[in-house]
Structure formats: structure tokens, C-alpha cells
Structure 1
Amino acid sequence: MPYKAIREIGEFGLIDKIAALAEPTLQAVPELLKGIGDDCAIYQPSGKLLQVATTDLLVDQVHFDLLTTPLNHLGSKAISVNVSDICAMNAFPRFALVSIAIPPSFSTEMVEELYKGMSHAAKEYGLAIAGGDTSSSRSGLIISVTIMGEVEPEKLTKRNGAKPGELICVTGSLGGAAAGLKLLMREKAIMLDHFENNEPYNKSVMADLKEYSEAIQCQLLPTARLDIVRFLHSRNICPTSMIDISDGLSSELHHICRQSNTGALIHESRIPISASTRRVADELQDDAITWALTGGEEYQLLFTIPKEEYELIDDYKEISVIGEVTDPDSGVFLSDIYGMRIDLATIRGFDHFGR
């Protein structure tokens, strides 16, 4: 039989194929309102609240590098990236199941450091680590986290509700995680080159990273925006669509537009990028707006609301309006600082299979 390499269809093409194969199984559980295709699966038990569930893998040398990532930071990040998916449904996390596959070279103390980070993050988000599984691994550390959350049915937000004319909003600032990753990779390369040349360890070879602490924290210790969910609930705002930014602003905006059957126009001048991120980009002779569009690992929230609700968010500094939803024939575009329109179909974020 002929074979097709995964890279020919890309990560999201692969997800589409898996979803089609899984679709018939949904008939067995009518209480499951949504399976593959959003940030979480959605389950409606007999009670008043909807339950949402998400799971993520973190794999050594794919999602992290232990040469640049402290284990307690990694544990915290493993929890945060899953809580972020719960937040993207406008929901609240309740409990987590954590499974890890551990290389034989790991010590007990290393595993303890990992779980200290998880426990700290769980306490910050008000969720319980309720169980999981452990295994050995011959190919590096692997972490799998599953989190259950809940939300009132009328406040549930999915990706597919955006409508032309609505505002496109984003939380926090973007590009910082990419800046932090670039810095860490630079320092790793310097360190490895130093040792490959059999030079004695000299601390002065490494840069003083204190001035880059904001960017590095964005990469190593991202925070899920549970505060935004609380704010939305407090103002009785229910976004028409929402997604968290894990693969870059451009990719996530395409997800919303694809599932909502809309287009979008965002403005470069409105995309929030911190001064520290721009400074790192200048130092590394790179482009901060490209990091914001494609860098990923931000775990900020991208959402849409009707224009008449703008006054409900206008006074909240953590939310920026960056554009508006357009009709599906208009495509997905960025208006740059010169007024030129750039087709974001040509600028996409992270894809695990490199399409």
C-alpha cells in the first residue's frame, strides 16, 4: 500500500484524520457534546455544570531541554499549559491526573523537584493533583497531564462562535516566550561550544541573564490566564469564541476563523509586545512581530466579542483589541505599520511535523 509521510499533511492535517476516525465512537456517549477539535472535550453529566477535559504531552527535546529548563519550572509549566486550555473554554480547573515516563538516570530528588513545581502551580490555580501513572523511559523524560474543569452551560466558550463585525481581543503581551527561547538557545550554544573545545569552565563566558528575566520567565514559567476568566465572569462577558495561544497568534486566529467560517483583519500596531521583547529582538537582529505571530508558548487568550461589549473591557489593561472579524471571503490578514495587508496564510506558527 502507498504511504504518505506525516510531514506532507502537517500536524493539523493529521489531527483532522484522527478526528474523522474517532467521530463514530462519539455515538456511544451522547453526553459528550464535543470531542476532538477544540481546546477541551465537553461532557454534560446530569448536574447543572458542564465538564471539560484536556490533556497535553511534554516531551524531552521536543517541548523542553533539560540543559536550559529547571525541573521545578518544568513541573509548573506542565500544569499551566493544561490549565490554559481550560481557561480557553471560559471554565475553571478542578483536578489533574499526571503521568510521567522517567529515564533510568533520573534520581529520586529530580522527580521530587518536578512534582514540587507541579504542586506549587496546582495550588496557585486551586486544583488538585488526583492521581496518574509512572513508567520508565528509554528516550528521555515524558510528561502527560490531563485536567478536568467545569463551567456553567451558558458561559461555555468554544472556537466556532465568531461573527463578522466582532472585535478580536488578546490578553497580556506576545513574543516574550519566543524571546526567552532564543536567549536560552544562545546560552546553550555558547556553553556547549565552550566544553567541546575542552576549555575549563569559566562563569564569565555566560551572559548575565538578569536583564532578560522577563523574557526567560515567559518561556520557562508561563502563567495560564485564570485571572482573565474570573474577570470575564465578573463582568458577565461570554466571548463568542476563544482559544489559547500555544502555537502562535497567526495559527490560533486561523483556527477560530476556520471553525467559525469567518475571516479576520488584525493590525500590527495594536498587537501588544513588551519593551523587553523588542529589546531582545533588536539585540538578536530578529523581528518581534514575527515572534508574536509565530512564536507560540504564550498561553495568553485570543477571543472575540461583539462591539457593543467593548465598554465592558475598555478599562482592563490586560486586554487589547487588535482587530475585527470579517466575512469568510476576506481571508485572514495583518495590516502592517505602513498600511500594507499581509496574508497570514503565509505566516503560520509551530507545527510538530514541520509542514
Structure 2
Amino acid sequence: MTKISEIGEFGLIHEIKQIVDKNYQNYPYLQCGIGDDCAVIDGGNGVSQVITTDLLVEQIHFDLLTTPVSHLGYKSVSVNVSDIYAMNAVPKYATVSIGVSESISVEMIKEFYQGVFRASRGFSVPIVGGDTSASIAGFLISITVVGEQKSELVSYRNGTKEGDVLCVTGDLGRAYAGLKILMRERLQMLEDIKENNQNYHPVFEDYKTVIQKHLLPKARKDIIEEFAKYGIKPTSMIDISDGLASEIKHLCRNSNVGVLIHEIKIPVINDTKLIADLFADDTTTYALFGGEDYELLFTVGKDMISKIELMEDITIIGEIKSKEFGVKMLSLEHEYVDLLQRSGFDHFKSGTSNQKNNLDNED
């Protein structure tokens, strides 16, 4: 018997894909199955439906000691909507299913759904149903979001080509910096409880920016609206859930290309740098491998650069090369670093964590 930890998350996805892919040819309306942020279905009249499902498991993707349930409700919706945006599509409706253990109170469930409602309203995606069940494995959350877009405007992971530029929204590594602070405080709290110390009072005032990014990530609805405004269709796109390096490798593998990114161009804010310094960590490592930023990583042709420059909060960090070039980063020391040697977070290999590593649709 092969342990899942021996092949990891993406190895497991590959094994599953080999089984279910065999039947795709019988369904001509299926435009994209396993292998992207969403499945894509021909909805007729030149419109495609995009569908994503996400599963969040207590002590794997979140820890209730460090995550307010209202924030968890908001984040659960936001990270799914992010997958829809990663296809350059617009979310239309969602279902929410939960499994609850005896430790979860009615008040906690109501607070969770208050967070769900805030996200639903903010992203204009009504919750139209779902399911509830008892659970012996803690709090379980499963969310499905359905979106749509004109078929010719849907962006996949496999469309980029040599000569395109690689862009990213927002800043990176900040969510992981927030996680580091929360995990430090969690450890201190557990130690105080063990020693029966009643004086523990966490102070997060200096860390609001990074903690908020981790607990309340906002899917980039604004970017998709700007794409429509300026007539931009990315040649490929993915959202950053597992870290910049991992998502870059997905784009390159699916498009059969290589890439060169520049470390000096990776957007990282000062608050993230300060946290990395606090823990004696490398800031770029947070951006490359931390994950959970839920920013958009995409490529466009060079003819689109002038339009990209009209948009705020977008950074061009590299260029697409031939497959033979590989997946590399030019470091601050002007050395080439092979990004294929390391991966993003993998909870099948890493055990339990408060770090979410969603399966997307390929995921």
C-alpha cells in the first residue's frame, strides 16, 4: 500500500485524473475538467460556466484557536471566488455545506454564516443552498461556486507562450507572515494554559496588516473588472494559494514553457519584511513558498503592457521563456535559482497545519 504522503497532493491528483479523464470524450460540452482552477462547461450561446469546489478541514486548513469563525466564513467564500476570478470569470451563485462536531455551538454557526453573508454580499454571489451534517472530525466546510464568462474570454493555465510577460497583483508573502504571528501566539497561549497562567493577553496592534491578509483575504474582483474595462484577456492565469513558485510551475507545466522571474521585482510590503526579520527568515521565501495570498498570477502578450500599466496594483515580475530554459529566478545576487527544486505547501506531506492548501479544481 502506498501512503499518500509518499506522492503528495499533486501526485494524488494525477492518479485521480488518470481514472476520471478516460470518460471526458463522452461529454462534448465539457470544455475543461481536472487541471485548472475551475471546471469549464459549455453553457450555450457562446457562454461558459466555470465551477469550483473547495474543502476546508479543521486543524488542516484552519485552527479555531486563531481563527474567528466569522472570519472563517468570509474566507471560505473568498478563496472559492478567487478560483472563479482566476478563470477571468464572474461568480454567479454558491452552495455552502458544513459538518459540525459537538464542540461547535449554534452561536458559532450563526457567526460563521454572518461571515459567509458578508462575503456573499461583497462579491455579489448569493448562497443558494448546501447541506449540514454531524461530524466526528471537527468542523468541515465545503463550498461550491459557479460563475460564467463569454467562452472566448475564459483564461486557462495553458495559454501562455514564449515572449509573454508574467504579472502578479498586490503583494506577496503577507498572509504567511500573518500566519507566523498567529502560530507564535497560539504556542504562547497553550503554554500559559498548561502552566495555569491567567495573565496571557495577545497584542496584535502592530501586526494588523499581515494578520488581516491571512484571516480575511479578498479575492481580486477589482482586477477582473479592470480587465473588462481595458479589454485585457490574460493568456494564462491562476490564483496564488500555495505560493508564487508553485503557481508559476503550474502555468509553465500546463503551457509547456519556461520562465525567468526577477527577485527584485517580487512585490513585498515592509510589514512582511519586518515579520520575516523578526523570525530571522528570508522575505523572498515567504513570497515564493508561503501561500494563501490569493492574488492573481497571469501572463499577457507584450502588446498588452501599455494597458497593464494603466492598472493599479499590478507588477510585471518576469518573462516567459522556452521550456528548455527551465523555471528560474534571477536573485538579488544576480545568480540563477532553479525554482523546480522546491514546492509550495503540501498538507499530505506536512501533516496538520493552519496553512490552507486548497485543491482548486486540479486541484
For residue 361 of structure 2, what is the aligned residue in structure 1?
none
Equivalences for 1:77-156 in 2 at 5 Å?
A: 77-156=75-154
**Distance in 1 of aligned mates of 2:127 and 2:24:** 28
Shift of 1:203: 4.0
Letter in 2 for 1:125: F
SS at match of 1:51: strand
For residue 240 of structure 2, what is the aligned residue in structure 1?
245
**Distance in 1 of aligned mates of 2:44 and 2:318:** 39
SS at match of 1:9: helix
For residue 159 of structure 1, what is the aligned residue in structure 2?
157
Letter in 1 for 2:336: R
Moved over 3 A (4+): none
Equivalences for 1:280-299 in 2 at 5 Å?
A: 280-299=275-294
Letter in 1 for 2:265: R
The reply to whether residue 202 of structure 1 matches residue 232 of structure 2 is no
SS at match of 1:151: strand
Bigger drift between 294-303 and 100-109 goes to 100-109
SS at match of 1:111: helix
**Distance in 1 of aligned mates of 2:312 and 2:282:** 24
**Distance in 2 of aligned mates of 1:179 and 1:41:** 31
SS at match of 1:353: helix
Bigger drift between 248-257 and 21-30 goes to 21-30
**Distance in 2 of aligned mates of 1:313 and 1:66:** 40
The structure 2 residue matched to 1:256, chosen from 229, 248, 251, is 251
Equivalences for 1:69-84 in 2 at 5 Å?
A: 69-84=67-82
**Distance in 2 of aligned mates of 1:87 and 1:253:** 17
Shift of 1:46: 2.4
CA deviations over 1:29-62 (Å, ceiling 9, x no partner) = 2211111000000001223311000000110000
Equivalences for 1:34-73 in 2 at 5 Å?
A: 34-73=32-71
Work out whether residues 258 and 326 of structure 2, in 8 Å CA contact, stay in contact via their aligned partners in 1: yes
**Distance in 1 of aligned mates of 2:308 and 2:287:** 22
Bigger drift between 275-284 and 249-258 goes to 275-284
Q: Identical aligned pairs, as a percentage?
A: 49
Aligned residues: 350
Shift of 1:270: 0.2
Letter in 1 for 2:122: E
Shift of 1:313: 1.0
For residue 295 of structure 2, what is the aligned residue in structure 1?
300
**Distance in 1 of aligned mates of 2:28 and 2:342:** 38
Work out whether residues 88 and 301 of structure 1, in 8 Å CA contact, stay in contact via their aligned partners in 2: yes
Q: For structure 2, which runs of at least 5 residues remain unmatched after alignment?
A: 351-363
For residue 272 of structure 1, what is the aligned residue in structure 2?
267
**Distance in 2 of aligned mates of 1:293 and 1:348:** 9
The reply to whether residue 328 of structure 1 matches residue 326 of structure 2 is no
**Distance in 2 of aligned mates of 1:121 and 1:332:** 36
Letter in 2 for 1:215: V
**Distance in 2 of aligned mates of 1:130 and 1:341:** 49
The reply to whether residue 216 of structure 1 matches residue 216 of structure 2 is no
Shift of 1:91: 0.2
For residue 337 of structure 1, what is the aligned residue in structure 2?
332
Letter in 2 for 1:213: K
**What is the TM-score of this pair, normalised by structure 1?**
0.97
SS at match of 2:13: helix
